[in-house]
Chain A
Amino acid sequence: MTALHRREVVCQLLRERGDLIVVAGLGSPAYDLAACGNHPLDFPMWGAMGGAAMVGLGLALAQPQRKVMVLTGDGEMLMGLGSLATIAVQRPPNLRIVVLDNERFGETGQQESHTAHGVDLAALAQGCGFPKTRIVREASKVNLLREDIYTSNQLLFAVVKVSPEELPRVLPPRDGAYLTQRMREALLGERSAD
């Protein structure tokens, strides 16, 4: 079995994304998102570790007609485990959380994370009550995940096991006020200045 490459997976998930909203957790997921393009409906984070999934929940509740995907890493998700319980109780059908799990804290020197030692994020999400969870380990299954992201009407939590490779950083915009206003303009038009 060949290990999955994170950027290939992310670019495949984002192909013909339409009006999918994407929140990316700090570090590699934000760089992966930037490597696949730079879209007004992208919200790459540079901090607030542990908060990506909850930003996704806020967006999913505020924009119930759109699909919202949170793309984050195992380290960032581990810091916000409680939010899995909070989100499962709310159960927004338009939210997808995709964890790119390389079993490492990649940004800080590739230290092993808890998932390298048996912690199963998908099982935790299932235990919290997520109606649908997936673990993707092979390239042939990425398309199934893609289908879920765009067509499913259920809250979804997916773990994609990826290779712990170190890739060149592709930096998304860092100005939070700009990223915020850019997304609000795309979603709200004239109301964005309110």
Chain B
Amino acid sequence: MATVTGGLIFVLTLVTILVRPYRIPEAVAAAVGGMLMVLVGIVPLSEIMNEPNVAHWADEIHALLKAHDIKIISFVPDGGHKRLIELCQNDATLQTVTLTTEEEGIALAAGAFLGGTRAALLMQSSGVGNCINLLSLPRVCNMPFLTLVTMRGEWGEFNPWQVPMGQSTSHVLEASGVIVYRVDDAGKVAPTVQAAIQIAFSSRQRVAVLLSQKLIGAKNFARGDK
């Protein structure tokens, strides 16, 4: 993956430099660059065409949640979780709960577990800071707790206000007794979430999966990213 990205950047830079005197729009240059990469065999065509045969990682998480009988999905929305939230909301077999603050999701999951139902909490890394005190609840009660955290404030962050919490997310979780798994690569999302579900619910542990900003993509407000 790193080779592919590196190769892509190299070819795109080269093409951009070469076409600059001819005032060709960057999008065209990028397309030409992409085709060149395919032609020289650095990148398989499927990678450029947004390969339809490989499931998006959010679809894989959705399938895993269902396969492991997790019925209640709570969240404070985040752009990185948009696709997964929509998949859950459109799934009549799941109960989705929109929260006003992330800590509500910990108490919700605790109550659900008391009643025999599995829950998971989706949030952005800044939400982890809102959770600290409530993390004592599943810990002291020996309950499972699973959260999937989309990261901000690390890989190419545009917004400086996101950086402090993004940089302390894993430390805060670990200090609160939460096992932390981290994923940088789309191909590793499913096995990591699978392992997190297993240790959370089979061994009654508190577990967070950090979905890195490298995986999700840093957004640029100046460019109008959503």
Contact = CB atoms under 8 A, between A and B. Distances in A.
Interface of A: 21, 23, 43, 45, 47-63, 80, 82-83, 85-86, 89-90, 176-177, 179-181, 183-184, 187-188, 191-192
B143 A48 contact: no
Nearest to B101: A82
B97 A90 contact: yes
26 contacts: A21-B115, A43-B114, A47-B133, A47-B140, A50-B103, A51-B110, A51-B137, A55-B107, A57-B97, A57-B111, A58-B107, A58-B111, A58-B112, A61-B72, A61-B97, A62-B113, A62-B116, A63-B116, A82-B104, A83-B107, A86-B99, A176-B142, A180-B114, A180-B142, A183-B114, A184-B116
Given A49-B133, A177-B141, A61 B115 contact: yes
A59 B142 contact: no
A59 B114 contact: yes
Contacts of B115: 21, 58-63, 187
Interface string B122-139: 000000000001101100
A51 B106 contact: yes
Given A49-B133, A63-B115, A188-B116, A58 B100 contact: no
Contacts, number: 118
Given A23-B111, A58-B111, A183-B114, A86 B137 contact: no
A63 B116 CA distance: 8
Contacts of B134: 48, 50-51
B97 A86 contact: yes
Nearest to B96: A90
Contact of B110 (A49, A55, A192): A55
Contact of B72 (A58, A89, A177): A58
A43 B143 CA distance: 14
